[in-house]
Every structure is written in structure tokens, then in C-alpha cells.
Structure 1
Amino acid sequence: MHASRKTAALVGAALAPVVALALPAGTASAHGYISDPPSRQAQCAAGSVSCGDITYEPQSVEGPKGLTSCSGGNSRFSELDDDSRGWTVTPVPKNATFSWKLTARHATSTWEYYAGGQRIAQFDDGGAQPGAVVNHQVDFGGLTGQQKVLAVWNVADTDNAFYACIDVRVGG
């Protein structure tokens, strides 16, 4: 009996790495995106624009802080950087609400919004953990017409941020 237990333990120890590699990898407890007005990744997830992997992971556009790309520098989501893809342009007022849908709530340093090559809004959360939905009122100032907004969620306790681009027409 002792020998069979020893054999079973050895077989179990030998198979454990194989079983672990065969199991599906856990997804990162990913994260968040702009749902309203619909960001590019929200449009992909809704199927209104044909996209690749981002269709299934609209909340996963994460990259190092300080980037200016819609894909967050992630080549898997490079279609988000393609301005000619037929993105829906949403009419918004000069003072518009942007809603983040968060699937994992990280402590937040800041939220930033860029349009026309400049930062148009910043909200400082001072390391607080946000709720499942975060809304920001963004004033476009003197910007009008069609704009591509880059929204950035800077996580407080990592070097990463989450990125979303939203195509809008300011002033209707």
C-alpha cells in the first residue's frame, strides 16, 4: 500500500505541470473603457465596426502611461489606431459627459482627456478606487466639429494606463 501511494504521488507530481499548462490561462482582471459616447472599442464589441481581438476584450486596452495611441501601444488592438475604419461619430454638446464602464476597479491617480492635440480635461482621484461606472463632464472649450478624443485612465499603483478613443462632433 505504501508503494502505491508513493507511485500515485510521483505520477501526480509529474502530471501537475502538464495539467497546469493545459488549463486555459486566467484573464487579467481587465479593466475599463468608455461606453458612452461609444468609444472605438465599444463599437467593436457591439459589432458596429468589424474588428479583431478587441471585439471580445473592449476593457483591455492597457499600456504604459504617457502614450497617445488609441490601442495603448498594444499591437493586438492596432485597428483602434486606424482612423479610416468607419467609426461612428457621435454628436455631443460643448460640455459632454463621458462614461467609463469599469470591469476591474483600480486605484486611480488621474483621468485625462485629449482632443485637437491638447489636454482638454483632467480629473484627479488622488488614489481613490472608483465605482463600476465613472462619469466626467468634459468642456471642449473652443474646439468644434469632428474631434478624436483620447481618454486615459491612469492607474495609481502601476506604470500602466487604460486608453479609449471616441469620435465625436462637438456642437452637434
Structure 2
Amino acid sequence: MRAGNKWKAALGGAVLAPVVAVALPASSASAHGYVSSPPSRQAQCAEGIVSCGSIKWEPQSVEGPKGLKSCSGGNARFAELDDDSKGWVVTPVSSTTTFTWTLTARHATSTWQYFVGDRKIAEFNDHGRQPNATVTHQVNFGDLRGKQKVLAVWNIADTANAFYTCIDVNVG
């Protein structure tokens, strides 16, 4: 290619690059939140306690449509979070336990929900407020005892999505 043609090609690329960038769909942000204490499955992956796939690098990214009941939030990339036989560390807790969320992007929040199986054990309504970088909730397990898998859900106020995290506990 001659020098004149190289210059024209470079100029054409420089002109087209901004147009292509604007025309491409924006990807969703890869930072949001997860339960860090007691250590959720995502936290265990991030800390290398359990061997996991890409969730190790982005424990805060388990996002899916509201209303799901899966640890992966219906996200195939994080399906191993749904595998109960993976060797998750079970944390001993009391009948009333503090759950701490670590948020890397703070979204306006409708509710925080906690489930054991199909049973909702707690819900906290933030009425659309934007939370701090760390959020804690006191959750009472009621009559539940022994090994339990808690599904914690952060419902975002201004989108159709929620963030999902599972925590394996032994309620004493």
C-alpha cells in the first residue's frame, strides 16, 4: 500500500471509530454487590476458598430479572453457584444473624429479601433510596435450625433486575 493510501485508510478509521462506538450497544456495568458476611458463595469464590469460574473475578455481578430463586440469578456464566455439591463452606450462625452486603455500585433500592427454600424469612424496604457502600440487615431465622441455604436478593428500584447471592449457614 502506498503512503497516500495508508494515510487515507488511517483517516477513514479515525472518522469511523466514534460512529461505531456510539452505534454499538452499551454493556451493563460489571460492578454491583454481594453478601460478604457471612461469606456467600461468591465471596468464597473470590477468596479462593472454593474453586470457581469467572465469578472469582466479579463476585458482585450476579444480576438477573427480579423474581428468580437461583444463586446464579439465571446467569449461565455463574451456574456453578447453583451447585449445592460444590463444597461450599457452611458458616455457623445464631438464630438472629447480621448479613453484610458489599456494594461496588450503589443503585436505588426497592427491597432486600432473604429466603430459605420458598419461605421468605425477611424483607427490608428501602423505598427507592440509594444505599451506602456497605449494608447490614439483622435476619431472624425463626424456627429454622441446622444447615440452610439462604438466598439473599437485592431488588433495584429503577430497573427490572435484582442481584442474587446464596449463603450456606448452620443455624444453631
The two structures have a TM-score, normalised by structure 1, of: 0.88
Contact 1:29 1:103 in 2 (8 A): no
Task: Quote the Cα distance in structure 2 between the aligned partners of 1:48 and 1:105.
Answer: 27
Look up the equivalent residue of 1:108 and give its one-letter code.
T
Q: Give a deviation string over 1:34-72, Cα, whole Å, max 9, x none.
A: 000000000000000000010000000000000000000
Which consecutive residues of structure 2, in runs of 5 or more, have no partner in the other structure? 1-6
CA RMSD in angstroms comes to: 2.3
Q: Give a deviation string over 1:106-133, Cα, whole Å, max 9, x none.
A: 0000000001430000000000000000
Q: Which runs of 4+ in 1 moved over 6 A?
A: none
Look up the equivalent residue of 2:41 and give its one-letter code.
R
Alignment of structure 1 residues 114-129 onto 2, 5 Å:
114-129=115-130
Which consecutive residues of structure 1, in runs of 5 or more, have no partner in the other structure? 1-5
The two structures have a TM-score, normalised by structure 2, of: 0.88
Task: Quote the Cα distance in structure 1 between the aligned partners of 2:95 and 2:12.
Answer: 68
Contact 1:33 1:164 in 2 (8 A): yes
Matched, 1:77 2:78: yes
Percentage identity across paired residues of the two chains: 70
Task: Quote the Cα distance in structure 1 between the aligned partners of 2:168 and 2:13.
Answer: 57
Q: How far off its partner does 1:30 sit?
A: 1.6
Contact 2:30 2:61 in 1 (8 A): no
Query: In the alignment, what sits opposite 2:143?
Result: 142
Matched pairs, number: 162
